[in-house]
């Protein structure tokens, strides 16, 4: 229902516009930390932030939230830009780095000290957290809490100058150690970290913490609605405290929404990175990964991801979204857009004994059953063909309407054929079928009105070889990381990738451009792998099957 009507963020924005708050402006941002590739959860946030800006004639910034030098990297920045663009996010000249604000943020920190609202604390990190207490334990004042403004200014300046080793001091906001909300118990806002930063190099050895840097970056950029996930709800008071003490005039406000939680996957960059580093997947863009780049490589379209984001909606309560909804969105979009083609994944040779040797013909077929504008193409029919090995059974079970000895089937857009004989190798494996065809059934119908129950896809024996990669979900359980005592990697699906090196495809498929997508009739939606496919050596990924194979 939320997906159809207005979501709570749209309601807030419309109310703000009515009341004239922010002068009617809408300015959002998407603020990834460049410490990994973006995943489908980020796609929700991208669609939301860029979508709201677009809907209300506002702006959305791309902000690289790069305040932690240890985990961030320029490669990640590039992948983030690529993925946001691909999804349709337009930031124009509004790409910013939190690291560009380091000098300004330092100035804000000095101003807090001068106001008597921040102090340099010399407790260790462990001591700070022990003093902080938790929801059940009250906090205790740091013995350094009452340092003078002068002493604090001097120490903070010397922290910046590099006089102290990591961990020796932190700058803390002086708020309320008795607050029922532990977030307000004098949170650290700067720490010493002698580390090389991917953009500022060795200029800094103190770095602002998220709670300090984020809200002030929002303010610096003129953000109006700072949208984040629900875990930050109890930190909103801190956001307001910092902004309230340092920013005059129009200021940003934080709103929280429920993060995307998707079944059959993990969704934290830390865990995705672990799989990459341990070689459990081929990289961040492995087509089984729920990263934006993995989904794109798999053949998921940007339109289907946006549709997914719309359908899941935006709410204030956490809930699980079933992976099958994503698959449905992909399937629906591709059903509409993908040209049809034929490919045989596990080829079984068929020889049409009554078809003249050396002869061939072109048969017309349409590229899409419902969209004439996608045109027609020609299929080459020859005496020797391939069909799918599992479309034949020597002793057909009940209800098997495909090919069997003495049985007749239709070859799609071609002829009826009948299986006359089976040829086996010395191990008893069926290696070839000898068939006859009925020349009167050209196009797929018999003039005498006789019916066949099965229609098979096929390719001519001269069709090029292709590698086809079939994927299943990367994890075999719905919630691989719910049990904190169990390593999520123990739930990896051992059968998530099947490589078929000897598939045969219609000749035109071997010429298709990287990322081109097709429906292989009866088999699912496939695309040309953007990394491994080469002219003369095509590689296809199965994006999704035709039907939900997981449904009971
Ligand atoms: P992760 O834990 O996966 O590393 P993160 O929140 O630390 O995620 P950021 O790079 O900080 O990653 O996220 C950028 C933006 O994307 C944030 O505004 C965050 O709220 C949003 N985001 C991250 N994960 C999700 C999710 N699962 N659903 C919706 N939004 C998300
Ligand atoms: Mg984050
Ligand atoms: Mg993170």
**8-state DSSP, 135:** S
* pTM of the predicted model as reported, rounded to 2 decimal places: 0.95
Domain count, the chain: 3
313 is known to lie in a ligand binding site: no
Whole-number pLDDT of residue 1 = 41
Task: Please indicate, yes or no, if residue 527 is contained in any of the structural domains.
Answer: yes
Does residue 551 form part of some domain?
Answer: no
Please identify, among 463, 489, 514, the residue that sits at the C-terminal boundary of a domain.
463
Q: Which of 229, 261, 270, 274 to mutate to test the pocket of ligand 1 (most atoms within 8 A of CB)?
A: 229
267 is in an annotated binding site: yes
Query: Sign of dihedral through CA atoms 495, 470, 303, 537?
Result: positive
User: Are residues 392 and 472 located together in one domain of the fold?
Assistant: no
Question: Residue 222 carries which DSSP code?
Answer: T
CA 522 – CA 547 distance, rounded (Å): 10
Q: What pLDDT, on the 0 to 100 scale, is given for residue 5?
A: 78
How many Å apart are CA 185 and CA 335, to the nearest integer? 55
Same domain, 258 and 375: no
Pocket lining: 31 vs ligand 1, CB cutoff 6 Å: yes
Question: Is residue 103 in some structural domain?
Answer: yes
Residue 40 known to bind ligand = yes
CATH number at residue 502: 2.40.240.10
Residue 549: per-residue pLDDT? 63
Give a yes or no: residue 407 inside a domain: yes
Q: What is the pLDDT of residue 4?
A: 55
What is the pLDDT at residue 2? 45
The reply to whether ligand 1 has any atom less than 6 angstroms from the CB of 33 is yes
Task: Please list all protein residues whose beta carbon sits less than 5 angstroms from ligand 2, which is an ion.
Answer: 33
Does residue 2 sit within a domain?
Answer: no
Q: What is the pLDDT of residue 257?
A: 98
Answer yes or no: do 16 and 126 share one domain: yes
425-458 CB burial, b ≥16 within 10 A, e <16 = eeeeeeeebebbbbeebbebeeeeeeebeebbbb
Write out the two tokens for 61.
């910034």
Whole-number Å distance between alpha carbons of 207 and 211 = 12
Mark which of 209, 240, 262 sits at the end of a domain: 262
Do 470 and 457 fall within a single domain? no
Q: Are 367 and 332 in the same domain?
A: no
On whether both 202 and 108 belong to a single domain, the answer is: yes
Q: Is 44 in the pocket of ligand 1 (CB under 6 A)?
A: yes
Residue 228 CA to ligand 2 center (angstroms) comes to 9
Cα distance from N-terminal residue to C-terminal residue, the chain = 26
Can you give the residue range of the structural domain that contains 319?
A: 269-337+466-544
User: Which of 435, 463, 491 marks a domain boundary?
Assistant: 463
ipTM: 0.97
Rounded to whole angstroms, how far apart are CA atoms 541 and 544?
A: 9
Task: Report the pLDDT value the prediction gives residue 29, as an integer from 0 to 100.
Answer: 98
Tokens of 232: 């930050």
**Residue nearest atom 23 of ligand 1, based on CA coordinates:** 42
Do 329 and 361 lie in one domain? The reply is: no
Catalytic residues, by residue number, are 33, 259, 269
Closest CA to 504 of 471, 532, 540: 540
Strand order in the sheet with 95-97: 27-30, 59-64, 95-97
DSSP for residue 232: G
What span, in angstroms and rounded, lies between the C-alpha atoms of 265 and 479?
Answer: 7
Q: How far apart are CA 185 and CA 173, in angstroms?
A: 8
Dihedral (Cα; 453, 458, 460, 464), 10-degree rounding: 180
Q: How many residues are present in the chain?
A: 552
Query: Which ligand is nearest to the Cα of residue 30, counting in written order?
Result: 1
120 within a domain of the structure (yes/no): yes
CA angle 435, 439, 440 (to 5 degrees): 130
Tens of pLDDT along the chain (552 residues)? Answer: 444 579 999 999 999 999 999 999 999 999 999 999 999 999 999 999 999 999 999 999 999 999 999 998 999 999 999 999 999 999 999 999 999 999 999 999 999 999 999 999 999 999 999 999 998 999 999 999 999 999 999 999 999 999 999 999 999 999 999 999 999 999 999 999 999 999 999 999 999 999 999 999 999 999 999 999 999 999 999 999 999 999 999 999 999 999 999 999 999 999 999 999 999 999 999 999 999 999 999 999 999 999 999 999 999 999 999 999 999 999 999 999 999 999 999 999 999 999 999 999 999 999 999 999 999 999 999 999 999 999 999 999 999 999 999 999 999 999 999 999 999 999 999 999 999 999 999 999 999 999 999 999 999 999 999 999 999 999 999 999 998 899 999 999 999 999 999 999 999 999 999 999 999 999 999 999 999 999 889 999 999 999 876 553
Residue 93 lies in a domain: yes
């Amino acid at each position: 229902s939320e997906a159809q009507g207005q979501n709570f963020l749209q309601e807030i924005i419309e109310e703000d516009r009515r009341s004239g708050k922010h002068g009617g402006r809408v300015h959002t941002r998407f603020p990834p930390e460049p410490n990994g590739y973006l995943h489908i959860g980020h796609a929700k946030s991208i669609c939301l932030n860029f979508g709201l800006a677009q809907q209300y004639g506002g702006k959305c910034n791309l902000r690289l939230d790069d305040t932690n030098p240890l985990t961030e990297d320029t490669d990640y920045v590039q992948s983030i830009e690529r993925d946001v663009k691909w999804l349709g996010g337009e930031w124009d000249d509004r790409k910013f780095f939190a690291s560009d604000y380091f000098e300004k943020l330092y100035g804000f920190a000095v101003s807090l000290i001068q106001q008597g609202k921040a102090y340099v604390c010399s407790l260790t990190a462990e001591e700070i957290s022990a003093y902080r207490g938790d929801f059940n334990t009250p906090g205790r004042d740091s013995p350094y809490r009452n340092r003078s403004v002068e002493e604090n200014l001097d120490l903070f300046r010397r922290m910046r100058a590099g006089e102290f080793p990591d961990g020796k001091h932190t700058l803390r906001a002086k708020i309320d150690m008795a607050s029922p909300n532990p977030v307000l118990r004098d949170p650290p806002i700067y720490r010493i970290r002698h580390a090389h930063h991917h953009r500022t190099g060795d200029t800094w050895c103190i770095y602002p913490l998220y709670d300090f840097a984020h809200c002030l970056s929002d303010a610096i950029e003129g953000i109006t609605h700072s949208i984040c996930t629900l875990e930050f709800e109890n930190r909103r008071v801190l956001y307001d405290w910092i902004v309230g003490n340092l920013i005059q005039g129009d200021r940003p406000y934080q709103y929280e929404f429920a993060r995307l939680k998707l079944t059959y996957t993990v969704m934290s960059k830390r865990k995705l990175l672990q799989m990459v580093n341990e070689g459990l997947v081929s990289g961040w863009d492995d087509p089984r990964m729920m990263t934006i780049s993995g989904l794109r490589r798999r053949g998921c379209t940007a339109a289907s991801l946006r549709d997914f984001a719309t359908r899941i909606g935006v709410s204030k309560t956490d809930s699980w979204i079933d992976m099958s909804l994503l698959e449905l969105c992909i399937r629906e979009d591709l059903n509409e857009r993908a040209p049809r083609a034929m490919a045989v994944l596990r080829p079984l040779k068929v020889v049409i004994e009554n078809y003249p040797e050396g002869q061939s013909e072109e048969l017309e077929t349409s590229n899409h059953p419902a969209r004439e504008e996608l045109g027609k193409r020609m299929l080459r029919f020859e005496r020797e063909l391939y069909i799918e090995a599992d479309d034949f059974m020597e002793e057909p079970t009940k209800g098997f309407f495909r090919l069997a000895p003495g049985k007749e089937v239709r070859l799609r857009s071609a002829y009826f054929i009948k299986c006359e004989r089976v040829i086996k190798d010395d191990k008893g494996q069926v290696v070839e079928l000898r068939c006859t065809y009925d020349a009167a059934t050209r196009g797929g119908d018999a003039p005498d009105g006789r019916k066949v129950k099965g229609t098979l896809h096929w390719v001519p024996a001269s069709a090029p070889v292709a590698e086809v990669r079939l994927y299943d979900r990367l994890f075999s359980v719905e919630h691989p990381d719910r049990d904190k005592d169990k390593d999520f990697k123990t739930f990896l699906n051992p059968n998530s990738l099947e490589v078929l090196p000897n598939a045969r495809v219609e000749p035109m498929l071997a010429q298709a451009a990287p990322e081109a997508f097709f429906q292989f009739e009866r088999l699912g939606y496939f695309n040309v792998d953007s990394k491994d496919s080469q002219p003369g050596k095509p590689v296809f990924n199965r994006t999704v099957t035709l039907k939900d194979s997981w449904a009971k």
